[in-house]
Structure 1
């Protein structure tokens, strides 16, 4: 599949990695359906994509809400005449240790709210958007590609029980979908980024950033365009499916 003229939906497309992916693909001539909960950010990204040479439209949607996801993907197919690829990028963090204890007494626990919020967006949202993207691809008779954004943290990271569980689940779904959807000409892949230089990492204390960077064999954080480049590679290589591409500078958590 060529990126040029492909209809690509990106969740979390209003900012961060999603915006970087959108701009990278827009410069290659993709037609972009950008999904986010923040309308102002969506509008900004749509304008930037158009300036970069691509066609883009924004859709306000909570990916954890089934009715909103169904309506959004139906609208994308109507607006663009079909769907060729989905990047399941939307995600949130609600970090915290499973529990904290002092002198044999538990003083704090990871709350069910923290757990559920991350599972709802980072796992259920991926399931709902992947399912509805596949529906649109199959019913329009178009071969397609679903790319799920996992994380190096999927192996289990300190203070990230909820996030690690979700990102591990994303990989399991990726493999299952590759097996199930191949008969319809739909590929399923995952990308597991390491530490990427984004707005979130820019707000960290310099000493924390330095400590984090020292753990990376390449001694630097990844750039958003390096993830976007990987997305383009997966879209264009029709023989990759059911695998995880690790873009992490060699780090292992």
Structure 2
């Protein structure tokens, strides 16, 4: 892109406020660490802002979303506290072409389950587990420069079955010491928007300081941009015979 990618990093920011050990691990919040990683790897190719659950309208106003090319989402303890009208707003912008990167326990967020149309449940174990992130599509732009395998010494375990639709592309799978495997890097198209789910990142571990994890998120930011003349949702239009370019509005049956 000739202009910087406009990134909004959204964080729930609940654990950081209520758990001193998480605040010590992430003094700028997990959203702050994620934002730092994006800037570290993409530099002046991005402009990055952060927003949290506690901000008015969760920091995701119509104006903010209109000025966001890619939104990253981390949530865990307060999925239910995200206002439905904000979820609907984000959903509309994804369908219109905004990129969305859903991280770790964001699999159970309202926005991800709405986009997937499934329960998005999985197996899990929080036990200081080692994770190996294996690249299964080495030609994918999100995998560019990522170690194979990428070793994360400590993180929470997620295992199959992961109740999501079949991904458009599977970029990474993870394996754990208990023998579990997990589809940990998945892409989806929804409307005009691109969605990437990436598994690593429990609040009890310093995962968002891991350079490989930061590299994946930065790569995903570049991948998730949809280039179109304008942001617009897919629209039902009526066309006349041999009218290829100028659709007419449709008001619905009767």
TM superposition score normalised by structure 2? 0.42
Choose between structure 1 and 2: higher strand proportion: 2
Q: Which has the higher helix share?
A: 1
